[in-house]
Structure 1
């Protein structure tokens, strides 16, 4: 993903903020991890440099929509993990979830890079 972004900005005219690129890598990691852990596996992964940002799209086999996990279990103990969807929604813009005609879903996000 990093190579796709840096090559997309390789014309020398645009500057990619290194912190924003780190955010994009984190969002890509969270999207793919969620697809593997909760969505039955990644069925498609796309990276497109669009204007001053990068659009990531990850598809999986599950029809279940993503939702933030509660911060504690039913006994009131703090959970380890469960923060991925919140991280994605905080760092990304234009977050969309689309059901696929053959089953599963595609989550697309835009991360500003400047």
Structure 2
């Protein structure tokens, strides 16, 4: 999927879009599970903390996939290391652990979080 999708996208729909975008690419189950976990966290957080998804894009790359989720809030995710006594914050920690890297672009209309996840097993 190369273009942004409509607002109101649900986590289950986003995960299906990712499955279809990665079908036939030889993605292992563990890598796929990691990607789907990140998609679910980013989409759920957009609803929980920012009023919903305003854009969603899947960009397959040669050895990775970029997942972009936009919302209308300029509030940044809580950084990893949030105290355990504070509610929430664990989803973003999970995203940053599973993704090779994350980028956040913030502007007047909200923010876009892009998570880059590897699709091939790391060389040992």
Q: TM-score range by the shorter chain?
A: 0.7 to 0.9
CA RMSD of aligned residues (A): 1.4
Asked if 1:6 corresponds to 2:23, the answer is yes
Give the C-alpha shift of residue 53 in structure 1: 1.1
SS at match of 1:43: strand
Partner of 2:106: 99
Gaps of 5+ in 1: 10-14, 74-78
Q: Describe the superposition over 1:39-97 as per-residue Cα deviations: whole angstroms up to 9, x where unpaired.
A: 12100010111111111000001000111443114xxxxx5x53100000000022000
Partner of 1:41: 52
Structure 2 length normalisation: TM-score?
0.75
- Post-superposition, which runs of at least 4 consecutive aligned residues in structure 1 deviate over 6 A? none
Whether the aligned pair in 1 keeps the contact of 2:65 and 2:117 (CA below 8 Å) is yes
Partner of 1:67: 78
Structure 1: distance between partners of 2:57 and 2:74: 19
Partner of 2:38: 27
Structure 1: distance between partners of 2:119 and 2:23: 11
Corresponding residue pairs, total: 101
**Alignment counterpart, residue 54 of structure 1, candidates 48, 65, 73:** 65
Structure 1 length normalisation: TM-score?
0.82
